[in-house]
């Protein structure tokens, strides 16, 4: 896809409308953890791009390849340079999403990852959710209008046909930079009407919104936040099995997308 450059003369909205009529040719998959990313890399036989346009020295990793008629780019923020663990959370997710959009100009972003689920809202371990709305739950600014900015609620790109075809669950996602949940977080998550909570989604949505790239969010439940088990323990226990389910869903989504326009999703 040609970059949406300056000086083309066409308003961005009409360019998006045009794109909606052409088959999707390039997608960007944003995944925070290596355990989640590598099975997708293997499934689509993606290869690492050693010459990515990312700044020198950053840990971000770009894989690419072609599947059917689609150029698939997958980015993973890599391991923290000091501590060696996956660079999870909103800061890394925003940065790598921004840099990847600038470099790759995808037609569509897919943010895939694991999430905590609320059984009171119908979530169970291993469920795969296609997210309808995202918001933050740990950006409390109790000043009029700043409060709304902090919550940053937005609708995701609607994909009713995808939801129906793959028989996925639909739900709202709440994002924060902690795996655990304070009582204040819980109140905000309830106010956000969220069924799942993660550490990246709303940040990816913010950047995608800024740069006007449609984005969808696929989240697989590793732990029940309103259950009895300690979150970190339950998350680690279920990570491998749930990741397999997540990667299966991503593969099905890419298959569904193949040959379709944005407006057909
Ligand atoms: N990812 C998986 N489980 C999570 C949780 N409980 N909170 C935030 N992110 C998660």
Handedness of CA 81, 85, 86, 89 (dihedral sign): negative
Q: What is the pLDDT of residue 19?
A: 59
In ligand 1, which atom is closest to the CA atom of 178?
Answer: 8
CA 152 to chain CA centroid, nearest Å = 16
CATH number 3.40.50.1580 is the correct assignment for the domain at 10-264: yes
Find out whether the beta carbon of 114 lies less than 6 Å from any atom of ligand 1: yes
Average pLDDT over residues 215-229: 97
Q: What is the pLDDT of residue 17?
A: 60
Q: Which residues of 82-108 are buried (b: 16+ CB within 10 A; e: fewer)?
A: eeeebbbbbebbbbbbbbbbebbbbbb
Provide DSSP, 20-78.
Answer: TTSB--EEEEE-S-HHHHHHHHHHTT-EE-TT-SSPTT---EEEEEEETTEEEEEEE--
Find out whether the beta carbon of 93 lies less than 6 Å from any atom of ligand 1: no
Taking the centre of ligand 1 as the mean of its atom positions, its distance from the CA of residue 200, in whole angstroms, is 10
User: For residues 246 and 133, what is the distance between their CA atoms, to the nearest angstrom?
Assistant: 19
From atom 9 of ligand 1, which residue's Cα is the shortest distance away?
198
In angstroms, the Cα distances linking 230 to 179, 185, 191, 236, 238 are 11, 16, 23, 10, 12
183 vs 167: which has the higher pLDDT: 183
User: For residues 222 and 148, what is the distance between their CA atoms, to the nearest angstrom?
Assistant: 29
Residue 66 has pLDDT above 90, yes or no: yes
Ligand 1 pocket test target in 121, 179, 237 with most atoms within 8 Å of CB: 179
Q: Are 70 and 52 in contact (CB under 8 A)?
A: no
Find out whether the beta carbon of 222 lies less than 6 Å from any atom of ligand 1: yes
Using one digit for the tens of pLDDT, what is the confidence trace for 122-165?
999 999 999 999 999 999 999 999 999 999 999 999 999 999 99
What residue ranges do the domains of the chain occupy? 10-264
Ligand 1 pocket test target in 31, 113, 116 with most atoms within 8 Å of CB: 116
Find out whether the beta carbon of 97 lies less than 6 Å from any atom of ligand 1: no
Considering the entire predicted model, what is its pTM?
Answer: 0.92
């Amino acid at each position: 896809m040609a970059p949406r450059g300056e000086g083309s003369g066409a308003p961005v909205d009409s360019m998006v409308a045009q794109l909606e009529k052409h088959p999707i040719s390039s997608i960007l998959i944003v995944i925070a953890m290596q355990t989640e990313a590598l099975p997708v890399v293997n499934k689509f036989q993606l290869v690492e791009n050693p010459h990515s346009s990312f700044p020198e020295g950053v840990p971000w990793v770009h894989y690419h390849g072609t599947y059917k008629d689609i150029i698939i780019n997958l980015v993973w923020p890599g391991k923290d340079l000091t501590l060696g663990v996956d660079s999870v959370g909103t800061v890394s997710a925003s940065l790598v999403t921004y840099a990847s959009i600038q470099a790759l100009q995808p037609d569509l972003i897919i943010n895939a990852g694991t999430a905590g689920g609320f059984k009171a809202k119908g979530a169970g371990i291993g469920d795969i959710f296609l997210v309808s709305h995202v918001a933050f739950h740990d950006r409390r600014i109790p000043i009029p209008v700043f409060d709304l900015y902090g919550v940053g609620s937005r609708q995701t790109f609607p994909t009713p046909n995808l939801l129906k075809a793959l028989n996925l669950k639909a739900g709202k996602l709440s994002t924060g930079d902690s795996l655990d949940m304070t009582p204040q977080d819980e109140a905000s998550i309830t106010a956000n009407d969220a069924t799942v909570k993660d550490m990246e989604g709303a940040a990816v949505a913010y950047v995608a919104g800024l740069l006007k790239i449609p984005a969808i969010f696929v989240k697989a439940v590793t732990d029940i936040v309103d259950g009895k088990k300690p979150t970190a323990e339950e998350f680690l226990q279920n990570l491998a099995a749930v990741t397999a389910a997540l990667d299966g869903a991503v593969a099905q989504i890419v298959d569904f997308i193949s040959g379709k326009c944005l407006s057909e999703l």
